[in-house]
Amino acid sequence: MPITVLKVIIVYINVIGFCCCFRNDASPTGKTADIPAIAKYFSTKGRYEEVNPYLIDDILAVNRSILQPPSAQCRQIHLTAVIRHGTRYPTTKNVKKMQKLYDLVKSSAAGKDSWLREIQTQWTMWYTEDMDGRLVQKGVNDHKHLAVRLSKLFPSLISEEKLRGGFIKFITSSKHRCVNSTLSFKAGLTKLWGITDQEFDHTVNDALMRFFDKCTKFVEEVENNSSALVEVDKFKQGPEMRRVQEKIADRLRVPYSLITDDMAEAAFYLCAYEFAINTVNSPWCRLFDEVDGQVMEYANDLKHYWKRAYGYDINSKSSCILFHDLFSRLDKAANESGQQVTEAVTIQVGHAETLLPLLTLLGFFKDSDPLTSTNYASQTGRSFRTSYMLPYAANLVLVLYDCGGGDLRLQPLLNEKPVAFPGLTDQKDPMPLYQDVKDHYRELLRGCDFETVCQLFKHTAEV
């Protein structure tokens, strides 16, 4: 039997084995739960499967029809992916809020509904402060599965030959959930191809993947500035959020004064974490109807809008270092087109706070009106929805094609779906000319200097 045919058979067997081992993750109770009605409003606490529902039936499914190069001559020469870590435990801060709500429900809730009795008599507070945002098994699988799907979408780039040859580079934030997501992504590939005789390095680079920590202007003017999120605070005290809190109090049969906005957020997160981590439609979800879910989503969107996106210019400009890094890798691959590209694939694993400023800098999901505390009703059709943009394992993938004769094309994908670069002349072209993309972002490519934009004080030149 020819060696190439044998290798194809071996890879096929590995794919089948991988599918058997990792498909259809069930809850700890051994059964897959039904989906909470509010699951599509979980913002950054949502499952990747809510963005791509076809994955619920087949976690390794891909749609290769989304890749439509303008001619058969086009070949993929480089792929850069910026990926959020997988599903994680709540942070210590959120565990404390959840514990406070749980104690209140146990001691004071007087409702008689069966779901409430289930919380009071059967559900136990199993989240602990030392979990502090660590990756869960679902998060491990998020990245293993994503690695396999991307290898199926881009087999000429994410291949065993490229991995073994050192043409695939891995970069991660230093946070344990990101490092473990990176290890999981690599494990997805090594298991797929049955690689046991070789290990693959990754680089920790917080300057790229946690640029927001290094940007003094952002830290001082937004991150540590209590007045920066005034619109969020106003919304939390506004009529929409107040109504959600009152409805929670009514369902629990406790005084309105006991349910604060923090309590409402804790209840929402309990529903979200139980579903994301354990695939359980928790009784905590019964504290919300779909209208409540929409309000809670808007509160989260408002926070991300003002803290990481279009609310302040420095939010997006803080990602200048990552922006330039992406385009320098694309330029290098473009200059090497026609020969062996030395870095075929770059996998960069970070946070929602890594992706959102970059997406904002590139102009994605910008609505005509800003999100404010008073325009909730008019923003129901907004494009800025973190539930869609930033689930666990969210990813921005940029693929460079060489179509011959100097015809280089760039295709952007967000969460494995084609998107168009905002503002380009031909919005219907899924793969615009790379030079047109560079021309569109020329002001950022010429400027957007991280050191300059992140300076807190502008010093005048000495005379």
Does residue 53 lie in a domain region?
Answer: yes
Is 85 annotated in the active site?
A: yes
Q: Region 312-338: what's the mean pLDDT?
A: 96
Does residue 29 lie in a domain region?
Answer: no
Tokens, residue 135: 């990756």
Residue 358 is part of which domain span?
44-454
Kindly report the CATH number assigned to the domain that includes residue 51: 3.40.50.1240
Share of the chain above pLDDT 90, in %: 86
**Residue 379 pLDDT grade (very low, low, confident, very high; cuts 50, 70, 90):** very high
Whether 23 shows a pLDDT value over 60: the answer reads no
> Residue 10's pLDDT is what?
41
> Residue 458's pLDDT is what?
52
> Residue 314's pLDDT is what?
98
Give residue-wise pLDDT tens across range 253-307.
999 999 999 999 999 999 999 999 999 999 999 999 999 999 999 999 999 999 9
Determine the Cα–Cα distance for residues 189 and 144; give it in Å rounded to an integer: 7
> Residue 339's pLDDT is what?
84
Give residue-wise pLDDT tens across range 170-196.
999 999 999 999 999 999 999 999 999
> Residue 247's pLDDT is what?
98
Determine the Cα–Cα distance for residues 99 and 263; give it in Å rounded to an integer: 10
Whether 338 shows a pLDDT value over 50: the answer reads yes
Number of domains in the chain: 1
Cα 347-322-335 angle, rounded to 5 deg = 70
Please report, for residues 50, 309, 393, 415, the alpha-carbon distance to residue 387 in angstroms, rounded to integers and kept in the order given: 8, 15, 12, 12
Share of the chain above pLDDT 70, in %: 90
Does residue 285 lie in a domain region?
Answer: yes
Does residue 461 lie in a domain region?
Answer: no
Does residue 192 lie in a domain region?
Answer: yes
Does residue 246 lie in a domain region?
Answer: yes
Closest CA to 51 of 457, 419, 420, 335: 419
* pLDDT top residue among 123 and 1: 123
* Mean pLDDT score of the chain: 92
Q: What is the DSSP string of 253-273?
A: T--GGG--HHHHHHHHHHHHH
Does residue 13 lie in a domain region?
Answer: no
Does residue 245 lie in a domain region?
Answer: yes
Whether 421 shows a pLDDT value over 60: the answer reads yes
78, 85, 143, 351: the catalytic one is 85
Determine the Cα–Cα distance for residues 177 and 317; give it in Å rounded to an integer: 25
Tokens, residue 265: 């957020």
| Residues linked to residue 410 through DSSP beta bridges, in sequence order | 400
Whether 24 shows a pLDDT value over 80: the answer reads no
Checking 364-372 for CB contacts under 8 A at 24+ apart, the result is 364/389, 364/414, 364/419, 364/422, 365/389, 366/310, 366/422, 370/305, 370/310, 370/311, 371/231, 371/298, 371/301, 371/302, 371/305, 371/306, 371/311, 372/231, 372/302
Whether 461 shows a pLDDT value over 70: the answer reads no
Closest CA to 367 of 355, 384, 347: 384
